[in-house]
Structure 1
Amino acid sequence: MTTEFSQKASEMRATSLDEAADLLRRVAGERQAGESMKAIFRRLGRKLDNWSENRIRDVWHRDPRIKVRADEVSQLRALTEPKRKPESIHDLEELRATVARLARYEALLQRLDEDLYGPDISAAGDQLGQARSLLGKSGSGL
């Protein structure tokens, strides 16, 4: 039983080490032309709080003698997760610009010839209403 437990523990340790090494490589990103491994480890050291260059090197090379802590894996995961907030802000700004553009088109079409462009005005009004309702759901109005 003891050997089965130690075997499972070493498998779990290897799995977390593999995950940490993969995440570490993602945090490092692409290697620049002429960039040494030492430079990569230094660059990673600036991004990773409380990680020594030796610790980074051991995880990078998947040294089986080390144990990766959960907080280290969490830190690596946080650095590799996509940043969603700036994208959503960009999407909201883009939606506001579209609403403003639709409102200008609607006003322009009404001034030109309401009989000729009546269906277009109606369609633009419908799109404008839908866009405004989306903006209302996001917590900010036009």
Structure 2
Amino acid sequence: MTSEFSHKVLEMRATSLNEAADLLRQVAGERRADESLKAVFRRLSRKLSDWSENRIRDVWHRDPRIKIRADEVSQLRALVEPKRKTESIHDLEELRATVARLARYEALLERLDEEFYGPQISAASDQLGEARRLLGKGRSRV
């Protein structure tokens, strides 16, 4: 009969292993259509030079027999963090482009026929205000 403590330890191991496997997949990035899993493991072994291909494979497949060390998770987090920052910057740039498009759309509708396009102008203004709020800008500049 296993104790409650051993259940907690197994649960913590599984959580660490799941996090490590998810991080490893993020480090690997998108797999090309013609790329084998073995090739992905080789590519990962170049990024994780102190990891063996077997270690990478075991983490990838979430093998419950292995133990993940804290330094391994830290290493994976460090490799993933720059990707997350790049994605955040890309999302912010995309949102700014959307704000600019909405502002141009609103101005175009006002020039065409403000009375006829009133509901669309109002909707565009609402979307523009929401996008600016998301950008953290309370002013009307784009």
Fold-level similarity (TM above 0.5): yes
Q: Which residue of 1 aligns with 2:67?
A: 67
Which residues of structure 1 form unaligned runs of 5+? Answer: 89-142
1:18 aligns with 2:18: yes
The 3-state SS of whatever aligns with 1:76 is: helix
RMSD between superposed Cα atoms in Å: 2.1
Q: Which residue of 2 aligns with 1:117?
A: none
The aligned amino acid for 1:74 is S
Q: Secondary structure at the match of 2:9?
A: helix
Q: In structure 2, what residue type is equivalent to 1:7?
A: H
Q: Cα deviation per residue 1:82-108 (whole Å; 9 max; x = unaligned)?
A: 266xxx9xxxxxxxxxxxxxxxxxxxx
Match of 2:8 in 1: 8
Is the partner of 2:49 in helix, strand or coil?
coil
Identity rate, percent: 81
Q: Which residue of 2 aligns with 1:29?
A: 29
1:54: which partner in 2?
Answer: 54
Aligned length: 86
Give the whole-Å Cα distance in 1 for the aligned partners of 2:48 and 2:82: 17
1:6-25 superposed Cα distances (whole Å, 9 cap, x missing partner): 10000000000000000000
DSSP-derived class of the 1:31 partner: coil
User: Hey, what does 2:136 align to over in structure 1?
Assistant: none
Displacement of 1:2: 6.2
TM-score, length of structure 1 as denominator length: 0.57
Q: Which amino acid counterpart does residue 65 of structure 2 have in structure 1?
A: R
Counterpart residue type for residue 20 of structure 1: A
**How far apart are the structure 2 equivalents of 1:38 and 1:8?**
34
Give the superposition deviation at 1:33. 1.8
Alignment of 1:35-114 (within 5 A): 35-82=35-82
Runs ≥4 residues deviating over 6 A: none
